[in-house]
Amino acid sequence: MNRAARSKLAEYARLMRRNMPPAEQILWYRFLRSYPVRFSRQILIGPYIVDFYCRKVRLSIELDGSQHYEEENRLHDEIRTTYLEMEGIKEIRFPNSYIRENFEGVCDFIHQEVQKRRNDYSEIPLSLIIQKK
Q: Is the confidence at residue 119, as pLDDT, over 50?
A: yes
Domain ranges of the chain: 3-128
Cβ-proximal residues to 127 (8 Å cutoff; 6+ apart), any chain: none
Q: What is the pLDDT of residue 68?
A: 46
46: left (phi over 0), alpha (psi -120 to 50) or beta: left
Q: What is the pLDDT of residue 15?
A: 83
Distance CA 114, CA 111 (A): 5
Return mean pLDDT, the chain: 86
Q: Is the confidence at residue 61, as pLDDT, over 70?
A: yes
Cβ-proximal residues to 21 (8 Å cutoff; 6+ apart), any chain: 63, 65, 96
Task: Give percent above pLDDT 70 in the chain.
Answer: 86
- pTM for this prediction: 0.84
Q: 126 or 113: whose pLDDT is higher? A: 113
Q: 47 or 123: whose pLDDT is higher? A: 47
* For residues 52-75, average pLDDT: 81
Q: 65 or 75: whose pLDDT is higher? A: 75
Distance CA 90, CA 24 (A): 19
pLDDT in tens, 8-24: 888 878 888 888 999 99
Characterize the bridge pairing of strands 59-64 and 48-54. antiparallel
Among 3.30.710.10, 3.40.960.10, 1.10.540.10, 3.40.1360.10, name the CATH number for the domain at 3-128. 3.40.960.10
Where would I find the H helices in 49-95? 71-86
* For residues 81-98, average pLDDT: 94
pLDDT in tens, 14-52: 888 888 999 999 999 999 999 999 999 999 999 999 999
